[in-house]
Amino acid sequence: MKEVSLQSPSLKRGRQRGLSLSGVSFLDNGPYTIAVEPGACIGLTGRSGVGKTQLLRAVADVIAHKGSCSLDGKLCDSFFPPVWRQMVAMLPAESFWWYDSVGAHFDTSSDLTECTKLMEKVGFSRDIMDWQISRLSTGERQRISLIRTLINRPRVLLLDEPTSALDKKMVSVVEEILAERCSLQRISCLWVGHDIEQLFRVAGKVYRVETEGFKEEVAI
């Protein structure tokens, strides 16, 4: 019988090795093989419709795929699916909302002090948790979704155009927050985007996603 881990991310022990993809393929795309060390960010770009978002969804184990994804050498299949998706967290370009208020989307066990500080960094007042989702602009939803993801302390971030709806000033703020969190918490990050200049700011390496695999970008 397959061993399934039910431990929360905070209880993980041992040497961190980051995220590894080996021969990952889905539909007619792939195979994709890459390793993202703890604290490192890799940028992914490519033409619209090539499968960048679907690749992130495959890594998050929300669509069928072949090949293997592992965290610290442990295969995705060895984890209970919700645990894997908490550790390997995908932030879609447009997040889902289930409740009427902002606060209802945050776990009551979350560190409220940390949450408040992060919310203030991205421009929200302390009463943000009482706001109705319906009053939020696209950019506000994008910022709140980011904080909602970060507060769960993932081990891997799968970011799909995380600043696409933000103005230039807030883009810089979000880039700074993500760089700080990835460095301090040793988060491995895959960042999908079309802005090549941004990808070279935030990532150590940038790859072009093709249907048959990755092609490394070497210059802006």
37-46 per-position pLDDT tens digit: 999 999 999 9
Q: Would you state the pLDDT for residue 217? A: 78
- Residue 6 maps to a domain: no
Q: Which tens digits make up the pLDDT trace of 28-67?
A: 999 999 999 999 999 999 999 999 999 999 999 999 999 9
Residue 177: inside a domain: yes
107 has pLDDT over 90: no
Collect all residues with Cβ–Cβ distance below 8 Å to 41 and sequence separation of at least 6. 178, 179, 182, 189, 190, 191, 202, 203, 204
pLDDT, one tens digit per residue, over 93-106 is 998 999 999 999 98
Across the range 89-117, mean pLDDT stands at: 89
CA atoms within 13 A on the CB side of 157: 34
Please tell me the predicted confidence (pLDDT) of residue 45.
97
Residue 134 in domain: yes
Q: Taking a C-beta distance cutoff of 8 angstroms, is the pair 154, 187 a contact?
A: yes
Look at residue 59 in the predicted model and tell me its pLDDT. Answer: 98
Give me the percent of the chain exceeding a pLDDT of 70: 91
- Tokens linked to 69: 């994804």
Helix, strand, or coil (residue 100): coil
Domain of residue 94 covers 17-217
Look up the pTM and report it: 0.91
**Confidence (pLDDT) at 5:** 34
Question: Is pLDDT above 60 for 13?
Answer: no
Is the pLDDT at 16 greater than 90, yes or no? Answer: no
Mean pLDDT of 157-180: 97
**1 vs 168, higher pLDDT:** 168
The mean pLDDT of the chain is 91
CATH number of the domain to which 73 belongs: 3.40.50.300
Q: Is there a domain that residue 9 lies in?
A: no
Q: How many helices (H) and strands (E) does the chain have?
A: 6, 10
Residue 8 lies inside a defined structural domain of this protein: no
Residue 7 forms part of a structural domain: no
Q: Does residue 67 belong to any structural domain of this protein?
A: yes
Query: Is 10 among the domain residues?
Result: no
pLDDT of residue 108: 72
End-to-end Cα, the chain, rounded Å: 49
Residue 214: per-residue pLDDT? 94
With bands split at pLDDT 50, 70 and 90, how would you rate the model's confidence at 1?
very low
Number of structural domains found in the chain: 1
